[in-house]
Chain A
Amino acid sequence: MDQVKVGVFLSDCGKQLSEILDFNALTDYVKKVSGVVLVGRSSEFWRGKGLQFIVDAIKDGKINRVVVAESLPKLSEVNIVQAVENAGLNPYLVEVIDLKDHCAWPHRKTPSEATEKAKAMLLAAIERAKLLEPLEKLEFSVLKSALVIGGGIAGMQTAVDLADLGFEVHLVEKTPFLGGLATRASRFFPTDDCAICIESPVSDVKTITHTSRKCIYRSGFSEIPNMNILTNSKVVAVEGVPGNYKVTIEKKPRYVNELKCVRCDLCTAICPVKVPDEYNAKLKTRKAIYMNIPNVHPPVYVIDESVCKFHDCAKCVEVCPTDAIELDQKSEQITLNVGSIIVATGFREFDSSIIKEYHYDDYPDVMTNLELARMIDGFGPTGGVIIRPSDRKPAEKIVFVQCVGSRDRRYNPYCSSICCMISLKHATLIKSAYPDTDISICYIDIRTTGREHEDYYERAREMGIKFIKGRPTEISRDTETDRLIVDVEDALLRKILELDADLVVLAPAMVPAEDTKELAEILGLELGEDGFFKEYNAKLRPTETKLRGIYLCGGATFPKDAPTTSLHAHSAAIKAVKFLTTGKIVKDQRTAVINEEYCGDCEFCPVTCPYGAISLEPTTEEHFVAKISDLLCEGCGVCVGTCPLNAIELRHSRPKQMLAQMKALMSINGTSKPLVLAICCSECGHTAVDSSGMAMMQYPANVRVMKVPCTGILQVHQFLEAFKAGAQGVMVVGCKSDGCHYEVGSQKAENKVELTRILMKEYGIEPERLEMFNMVFIEGDKFAAAAQTMTERLEKLGPLPTMGGS
């Protein structure tokens, strides 16, 4: 390797800093450090003449390492690194530090101490730069195709977006028809129009018809270019890496050829097998060959194989005029290669029969909102008439029960967020069609938090719908009249009531779709405590997962109403497009690397890596070795901190680079106070230090900051090394443990700090000399206070007896 030639560039930020720091002293100091061949001074180095000066020095071959002291390094670094790369030097050989927010400003009252600290900071940056190694940029190919799992409104909207933008889309739906919960729900708030109404694909709106919205059944959905719809199909396996997934789909037979069926209905007329129609709340029967409702998509019949007599009957085969019925169809396995996967599996109603006291399974006149929706639907089993199922007489008195299994710590503690609105929608729809119906709604709290949602509540009150604040304890049946009785306290009146009713409608919690857990395992995704898919960051990345290329939308992450589902679906589509559009992933090598000689195949790192980037691969017959995927590795270093044999290092944060930095930071004190090393993660920890400096919060200059990618990288021996290097105390500053940018790093660091404190006790070192702090960017005050407290604590403790500073 060439000889290391470091250029150091000191910016005084337009004289702001030189009023506090002695720049002449700094220049003299830096010049004497071995390896430094050039020292520049200017008022800024991240653009203009200053930056040109750096570029020229590189081009002239004067320097091959760059250290810049500049304010706002998180902004300026981008420019500097880019310019360095353009000048022909590997961009990973640059180190940028901040003498303003990390030194001059927080120590403005003690300028000479600040200058001494600045020397230590510069030395640390130089020592680290000397040990940096050039890294490569890697490219991985990405297939321009996507798999969308779930054919409800979320999945359909995402699929249309992607197809319209030219990507190949496979839409997989496990039931025989598209539409999901939405089609069953029939009408939607806040517009009270049809649920099966969707945005028209661009492919037809401009060219063939002039409608902007259409029913699914007349949308030409299956004719959208690039769209491959697979109903009756399920994802059974996923292999591969972001950009290149191999997906195995199991497609169950429909027994009706989708290309031949002309919907003449002759088959259903002749089919002799009748079964209760679950889709329509069992309020009617259907045949073994059937369609849910006339307006479904695809507009093709399906045979229910659990009841069809097949070749013992085959009457439908005889009548079908187009030979569309194929009783010998078999399940197929289909393999798809896609670049991205979007999960849109939605939610379902909680099983109300679990709450025994509501007798959902025992009394036919107790039903759920989704079942009631079938009666409100004109296409439904009663043609829009609201009946009591036990005798099919019109229901004159209806009681709604809210929060069935939600806001209930025995089942689902969360509020399902849409069921109040569903009940209000149903109650008002019924009341406007049949004004004489007596309707009561028993609620704990009514929640109507969307635009125009409160109008429903207001309208319901105007219409004379009664509201009872109380959660019923029991539903029973009067054996003489066969009417239902709802036991509830009206808590506002403090009266115990027994409401009689023809029909009781339960508003069940919304829970994750049936196979959510299984799918999560197949995809390697995590579920939240509530059982829904966990998004990468609820605030900023609500449709992303921690796996690049896999996205979530709609009710798969939590129950949502239609407007929110649409938003979510479009958001997932744009995220997928961002990922797919260039056809490649560009990543650098600031990743982890295994020293195969040391690896003892202990299996710790593969389970610890939050991104599943490590696998164990066989080398010889009985030996395995850990391998790291540069594509999947996010460079957190959690594996480094976990490996018991020190077999893993991050290429850009090697232990020797960290040690050199540590020693340099502790080499000069310049204050009368005990030296403190604050090891901060690059995310919240380091930015909290920034923000304390920006706000000019003061803390003593004996506190020295060292940045690591994530505190999860730290190992026990490194804390001890810090003490050996002269630290009298060590602070570890990471993200909040439930807000760690690398999922588990902060928690791992906390554990290691605890462990080290136990060891310290054994060695006779006060464990209070080491402490973990968790903070976010805006908590600069917390950092300043912690630095102050630590210093005072160490002053009380006195100098470290055994390892004392050098």
Chain B
Amino acid sequence: MKHGKDEKTTNLAFSDVISSRLGGETINLCYQCGTCASSCPVAKITPRFNPREIIKLTLSGEKDEVISGDAIWLCCSCYNCQERCPQKVEIADVIYALRNIAVKEGYIPNIFSEFASAILNDARVVKVSKFVETKRPTLGLPPLQPTGVNALRKILSATGFDKLQQKKEEAT
């Protein structure tokens, strides 16, 4: 927890940042009832993730803790919490908003940046190994067609995705 006056004000403004984003509008309605946490299949199996806690940290302005940690990446987007929240907080959407901010600020877990570079290079989420490629005919599968990677790259560069990814790669 930080106590410097200036930091406090900027930190608190963080909940405003979230509530002004698509999906984040309802965050201030949360009264910490924990329905989301007890609805969440992920929270049930790991103490590393608790949606109620993420909302609380965000409301308290603990931006760094939220966006630099790995918790927000553990949500499996099942929307159970969002269905049950009595205050209609759009929890899963809040988490998306948080992820978007995290990515912008350069916090992407490695696994996600691997996916991203696979998409940028081959237009596939998972890299196809030589082994798989040679195995396909034996299973009666046709050879893989080339992907439209150039078209995809254009689209991704129009959205600025490639730059985010570059930044991440430079950092690591």
B88 contacts which chain A residues (CB < 8 A)? Answer: 409-410
Give Cα A357–Cα B53 distance, bound, in whole angstroms.
Answer: 23
Give Cα A487–Cα B33 distance, bound, in whole angstroms.
Answer: 13
The number of chain A residues touching the other chain, given as a range, is 20 to 34
| Residues of chain A in range 475-498 having any CB-CB distance to chain B below 8 Å | 487-491, 494, 496-497
Q: Is the CB of B29 within 8 A of A494?
A: no
Give Cα A494–Cα B29 distance, bound, in whole angstroms.
Answer: 20
- Does B77 have its Cβ within 8 Å of any Cβ on chain A? no
- Does A469 have its Cβ within 8 Å of any Cβ on chain B? yes
Give the shortest distance, in Å, between B27 (CB) and chain A (any CB).
14
Return the chain B residue nearest A411 by Cβ. B86
B53 CB contact (under 8 Å) in A474, A487, A494: A494
Q: Mark A361-376, 1 if CB is under 8 A from B, else 0.
A: 0000000000000000
Give the shortest distance, in Å, between B1 (CB) and chain A (any CB).
17
Q: Is the CB of B35 within 8 A of A496?
A: no
Q: Is the CB of A472 within 8 A of B38?
A: yes
Q: Is the interface of A mostly helix, strand, loop or mixed?
A: loop
Give Cα A494–Cα B50 distance, bound, in whole angstroms.
Answer: 8
A445 contacts which chain B residues (CB < 8 A)? Answer: 31
Give the shortest distance, in Å, between A386 (CB) and chain B (any CB).
26
- Does A229 have its Cβ within 8 Å of any Cβ on chain B? no
Q: Is the CB of A487 within 8 A of B86?
A: no
Q: Is the CB of B31 within 8 A of A488?
A: no
Q: Is the CB of A487 within 8 A of B38?
A: yes
Give Cα A403–Cα B52 distance, bound, in whole angstroms.
Answer: 18
Q: Contacts A409-B86, A472-B38, A487-B38 hold; do A444 and B33 have CB atoms under 8 A apart?
A: yes
Q: Contacts A444-B31, A496-B43, A496-B44 hold; do A489 and B37 have CB atoms under 8 A apart?
A: yes
- Does A471 have its Cβ within 8 Å of any Cβ on chain B? yes
A490 contacts which chain B residues (CB < 8 A)? Answer: 34
Q: Is the CB of A470 within 8 A of B87?
A: no
Q: Is the CB of A491 within 8 A of B34?
A: yes
Return the chain B residue nearest A487 by Cβ. B38
Give the shortest distance, in Å, between A357 (CB) and chain B (any CB).
7
Q: Is the CB of A496 within 8 A of B86?
A: no
Q: Which has the most chain A C-beta neighbours within 10 Å: B35, B50, B53, B88? A: B35
- Does B32 have its Cβ within 8 Å of any Cβ on chain A? yes
B39 contacts which chain A residues (CB < 8 A)? Answer: 473-474, 487
Give Cα A494–Cα B39 distance, bound, in whole angstroms.
Answer: 14
- Does B84 have its Cβ within 8 Å of any Cβ on chain A? yes
| Residues of chain A in range 602-644 having any CB-CB distance to chain B below 8 Å | none
| Residues of chain A in range 198-244 having any CB-CB distance to chain B below 8 Å | none
- Does A348 have its Cβ within 8 Å of any Cβ on chain B? no
Q: Is the CB of A489 within 8 A of B38?
A: yes
Q: Mark B50-86, 1 if CB is under 8 A from A, else 0.
A: 1011000000000000000000000000000000101
A471 CB contact (under 8 Å) in B34, B44, B47: B34
Q: Contacts A408-B86, A409-B87, A473-B84 hold; do A488 and B29 have CB atoms under 8 A apart?
A: no
Give Cα A409–Cα B90 distance, bound, in whole angstroms.
Answer: 13
Give Cα A473–Cα B33 distance, bound, in whole angstroms.
Answer: 10
Q: Is the CB of B38 within 8 A of A473?
A: yes
Give the shortest distance, in Å, between A419 (CB) and chain B (any CB).
14
- Does A654 have its Cβ within 8 Å of any Cβ on chain B? no
Give the shortest distance, in Å, between B131 (CB) and chain A (any CB).
42
A408 contacts which chain B residues (CB < 8 A)? Answer: 86-87
A469 CB contact (under 8 Å) in B34, B43, B53: B34
Q: Is the CB of B86 within 8 A of A407?
A: yes
Q: Mark B1-42, 1 if CB is under 8 A from A, else 0.
A: 000000000000000000000000000010111110111000
Add 19 more A-B contacts to A403-B86, A470-B35, A471-B35 (CB < 8 A): A357-B84, A407-B31, A409-B29, A409-B87, A410-B86, A444-B31, A444-B33, A470-B37, A472-B35, A473-B38, A473-B39, A474-B38, A474-B39, A487-B38, A489-B35, A489-B43, A491-B32, A496-B38, A497-B38
Q: Can you list 8 A-B pairs with a CB-CB distance of less than 8 A?
A: A409-B86, A409-B88, A470-B37, A473-B84, A490-B34, A494-B47, A496-B37, A496-B38
Chain B contact residues, CB within 8 Å of chain A: 29, 31-35, 37-39, 43-44, 47, 50, 52-53, 84, 86-88
